[in-house]
Chain A
Amino acid sequence: MKFMDEYRDGETVHRLSREISQLADQNRTYRIMEICGGHTHSIFRFGLSQILPGNIELIHGPGCPVCVLPMGRMDEGLAMAERDGLIFTAFGDMMRVPGTTGTPLDAKARGADIRMVYSPLDALETARRNLDRPVLFFAIGFETTAPSTAVTLMKAKELGVTNFFVFCNHVLVNPAIRALLESDDMRLDAFIGPGHVSTVIGCKPYEFIAEEFQRPLVVSGFEPVDILQSIVMILRQMNAGVAKIENQYGRAVSWDGNTAARKALDRVFETRSTFMWRGLGGIPNSAYAIREEFAEFDAEKQIGVRGRSFPDPALAQCGEVLKGVKKPVECSLFGTVCKPENPVGALMVSSEGACAAQYRYSDATTVLRK
């Protein structure tokens, strides 16, 4: 299959793996964070850590929107879902995300009208077909999915729809990276930059990582060859003692990103002064809110939320895992109390979360040791 098989080719993978071994200096360790959950998933699915030298450590970052959503936001969404007559729509990943009273699937079992959609436009279409009922879209995701929410809201306004509401939980990648880089126990040497987010924002917004923090970042595709090639590019920078932003994913990402998508984002959203992240706590300027011009569709204003917040479970060490201080298996809850079918911490929630990916896909020996 084109655009897939050539990026999974065994021979190319082995060649890159040898190149990485040659580039990696035996006398030091390389702690490289892949920010995006899609990369985490690929790394485990293809067992990429197993073909890297032992002194290259891949640390799985906060780029899984489902994982970093605080429980309180899920509770607010579900409280809306259980109102009479309301149709709650969300992406498939959201269906098993627990709030304090259970998941959307549990709410559905109790009788709430919960529907899975593949695009916010489908949710808008549901609203147009059910004019007598309020339809809520639980919007989630980084700059990757935010443009489709923005375009949907622009369309809703143009059509004059009055029964469509968006509960906006869109978050921004760079404030989270900054928060990680500024934290005291930060131990990261370089970043594999998100692929899908960068199709929208381009590469320029990452420049502060190289300039202020002297860390290399390489925007990467999602196939094994992409990720290994990005690691090669990172090692070359580090060996040369430089820190730059580079783009490995040229077939999808341009330096300036997608101007039309960014325009839609600017038109519909403004930045919240702060937003709670599961595992990381409050991060300034790290999420989108819906602008006043589109307030008629803003579920927070029109349906109303109580703003409850619930702390992360005390024993779950999600924050330490995200900062690279601890590995998923080093958390006392991993695989015992905290499992994909009953997640305690944020990172066990989605298959893109570091812990869920580790639990599901890690090499047999890691799991067997537990």
Chain B
Amino acid sequence: MAKRSFTDPQITLQHGAGGEATRQLVEGLFAPAFANDTLAAMEDAAALNADGLRLAFTTDTFVVHPRNFPGGCLGSLAVHGTLNDLAVSGADPIGLSAAFVLEAGLDTSELRAQTEAMAEAARKAGVPIVTGDTKVVEHGSVDGLYINTSGVGVIRPSADLGPNRVRPGDAVLVSGPIGDHGVTILISRGEIELEADLKTDSRSVLPLTSALLDQLGSGVRWMRDATRGGVATVLNELVGGRPFGVVLEEQEIPVRDPVRGCCELLGLDPLHVANEGQFVAIVAGDRADEAIRALRNVEGGSDARIIGVVTDEHPARVVGRTSFGAKRVIDVLVGDPLPRIC
């Protein structure tokens, strides 16, 4: 993909939505300014070499609104998000940081509840929060509470992950039903009068990625958590500018009925909806069944599914095949998913 310099005169919300606009900002403004070999890999976590020890290092800032939603909250999300970036890099996390931007006037009880949710999520994953920072800004200059977390992990010696390891014939798998988080948040905002029996999928995927790496070793080629922009966006990022593409079998993609229903009503594609506890992995084609068995043996992995294959038929393209065999291009999302009117 051609790298263009960033020319938009202003930052809009679309630049933060994780789709094409975000990509243009990152590749056109940040990447050229900070240019170095480690950054150039553009993975969720950077791979650093410390005297022969391979470390994964990542950071993420969480600004979700509302801060509490069915199945989770800002605090638990902030821990899971960073753990997951390390997990899909093939790393065992060893420590997290927590930095807070607080709006003057925030209730202490809320801050305490969010902090406890962070502590609980970190405890459950067995990863300590080892450093932090606090800033308080004037009332009105931020929306209550923003949390940044960073994380460091040791990359497993057996993990050999990267887009360059992906080849035609490999299988594409997803760890479970997609779209739960994005649709839950959309409904929690209260702007749409919809009710659905849904909660966020926010969780640490570490037990799943570990099981996969334990079983397949270098048979796992590439992993990515499918957060903003959804499965469609991470797969497009994988194939962009590369000599291979991906074909997804649309009826194999696991989507819960409430998510399907909401997406149909609002004109959204579940493939573009955010997840906070699901990842996409590319594994060697002849070991796909083994991978699914390994995931299904872990708690929370019972819905893992092979959803497609890597192909050299249409390089750089993600294509979906419908139940009656017709094909369509699955593109990245431009900006935020906006509901259609009719």
Contacts and interface: CB of A to CB of B under 8 A. Distances in A.
Contact of A47 (B14, B245, B327, B331): B327
Contacts of A91: 339, 341
Contact of B341 (A47, A65, A105, A367): A65
Contact of B326 (A47, A92, A105, A352): A47
A118 B13 contact: no
Given A110-B10, A118-B191, A8 B331 contact: no
A362 B317 contact: no
B192 interface: yes
Contacts of A38: 342
A167 interface: no
Interface string B196-225: 000000000000000000000000000000
Interface stretch (A137-145, A205-213, A246-254, A287-295): A137-145
B112 interface: no
Contact of B334 (A4, A14, A341): A341
B300 interface: no
A224 interface: yes
A51 B340 contact: no
Contacts of B325: 10, 51
B329 interface: yes
Contacts of A48: 326
Interface string B262-287: 00100100000000000000000000
Contacts of B322: 8, 10, 46-47
B324 A105 contact: no
Given A116-B191, A341-B21, A364-B314, A145 B328 contact: no
Interface residues of B, number: 35
Contacts of A352: 340
A360 B342 CA distance: 19
A91 B267 CA distance: 13
Contacts of A140: 341
Interface residues of A, number: 54
Given A51-B324, A108-B13, A145 B342 contact: yes
Interface string A6-23: 001110011001000000
B328 A44 contact: yes
A340 B272 CA distance: 16
Interface in A8-62: 8-10, 13-14, 17, 37-38, 41, 44-48, 50-51
Given A8-B323, A51-B326, A92-B341, 15 more contacts: A4-B260, A10-B322, A44-B328, A50-B326, A65-B342, A91-B339, A96-B334, A96-B338, A105-B14, A109-B10, A116-B338, A118-B191, A145-B342, A360-B329, A368-B314
Interface of B: 10-14, 20-21, 191-193, 245, 257, 260-261, 264, 267, 314, 317, 319, 322-329, 331, 334-335, 338-342
25 contacts: A8-B322, A8-B323, A10-B322, A13-B324, A17-B324, A47-B328, A65-B342, A91-B339, A93-B338, A96-B335, A105-B335, A106-B10, A106-B12, A108-B13, A109-B10, A109-B11, A109-B12, A117-B191, A144-B342, A341-B334, A341-B335, A361-B328, A363-B328, A363-B329, A364-B329
